[in-house]
């Protein structure tokens, strides 16, 4: 879902839309779509005479909206990094977050430090460098810092929501985060000079794909973190840029070199290896099941 959204966003950009427009619309749609899904599910539960598990308290809603503001920082930091750096280098710097997630998970008691898992994560990161064609040439230190900041934020959110708010279902936690995220992005877009809209139906269709696929992917991300833990979720997300490259080849006609194909194979090997090493669920999560 995320990989398809990246490619669709590129189509929208080429049709005249800007980053602020696409990112703001996708977060607004996510909040709206997930909110409607929650209402539908709640009404179905009421007709059955049952209370849907994972309902939020006012305090939890405020906590999620606060986390949503943090998530908005991630969105801004990553896309501004893309403006300052070559895209492959920005992606590579951002995708240190699986390693950070593993460290944060161990500190929070969700996972144990496992040398083999770290080794496979490093293998994935090395493969990602080849797959994206990242180059250290002409590195902007501010852009690099922003990309790393974005990775830290994602790792932090995955671990915090799993460690302390895992009893709230993924739809509800995502909805309340998107309420504050989208609100802040709307204000930022307005303050930054407004939105730039696509010139044709192709661009609008691409934005629609971004909105729908992003909403599904976002809920799936937090659901995955609840079920298999944030570390393995983050490691699986290493597949996103590889899939995005493959889709770019099909949709945008952007080819891959043999070296990039080799890098993609290393990413997949690292992800599978980490999954095999941590085949059993973390003890902290198993105790909550």
Nearest-angstrom CA–CA distance, 107 and 230: 13
Encoding tokens for residue 265?
């194979």
In this structure, the number of other CB atoms found within 10 A of the CB of residue 182 comes to 22
In this structure, the number of other CB atoms found within 10 A of the CB of residue 128 comes to 26
Residues of the chain by 3-state class (helix, strand, coil), percent to 5: 80, 0, 20
Write down the pLDDT at residue 289. 37
Write down the pLDDT at residue 194. 75
Model pLDDT for residues 231-267, shown as the tens digit of each residue: 677 777 777 777 877 888 788 776 667 887 788 788 8
Nearest-angstrom CA–CA distance, 155 and 149: 10
Model pLDDT for residues 175-233, shown as the tens digit of each residue: 898 899 999 988 888 887 777 889 999 999 999 999 999 888 877 887 787 787 776 77
Task: Please say whether the beta carbons of 244 and 9 come within 8 A.
Answer: no
Q: Mapped to the 3 state alphabet, what secondary structure does 72-117 carry?
A: HHHHHHHHHHHHHCCHHHHHHHHCCHHHHHHHHHHHHCCCCCCHHH
pTM score of the predicted model: 0.72
């Amino acid at each position: 879902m995320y990989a398809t959204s990246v490619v669709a966003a590129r189509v929208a950009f080429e049709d005249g839309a800007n980053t602020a427009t696409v990112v703001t619309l996708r977060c607004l749609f996510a909040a709206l779509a997930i909110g409607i899904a929650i209402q539908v599910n709640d009404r179905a539960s009421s007709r059955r005479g049952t209370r849907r598990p994972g309902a939020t308290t006012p305090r939890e809603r405020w906590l999620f909206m606060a986390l949503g503001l943090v998530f908005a920082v991630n969105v801004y930091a990553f896309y501004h990094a893309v403006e300052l750096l070559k895209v492959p280098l920005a992606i590579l710097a951002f995708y240190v977050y699986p390693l950070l997630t593993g460290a944060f998970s161990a500190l929070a008691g969700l996972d144990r430090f496992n040398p083999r898992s770290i080794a496979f994560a490093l293998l994935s990161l090395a493969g990602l460098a080849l797959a994206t064609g990242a180059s250290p040439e002409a590195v902007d230190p501010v852009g690099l810092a922003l990309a790393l900041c974005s990775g830290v934020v994602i790792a932090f959110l995955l671990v915090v929501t799993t460690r302390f708010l895992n009893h709230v279902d993924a739809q509800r936690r995502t909805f309340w985060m998107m309420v504050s995220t989208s609100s802040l992005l709307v204000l930022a877009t307005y303050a930054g000079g407004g939105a730039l809209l696509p010139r044709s139906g192709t661009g609008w269709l691409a934005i629609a794909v971004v909105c729908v696929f992003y909403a599904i992917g976002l809920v799936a991300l937090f659901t995955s973190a609840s079920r298999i833990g944030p570390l393995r979720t983050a490691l699986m997300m290493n597949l996103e840029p590889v899939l995005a490259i493959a889709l770019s080849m099909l949709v945008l006609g952007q080819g891959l070199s043999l070296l990039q194909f080799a890098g993609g194979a290393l990413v997949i090997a690292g992800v599978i290896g980490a999954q095999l090493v941590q085949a059993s669920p973390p003890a902290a999560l198993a105790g909550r099941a």
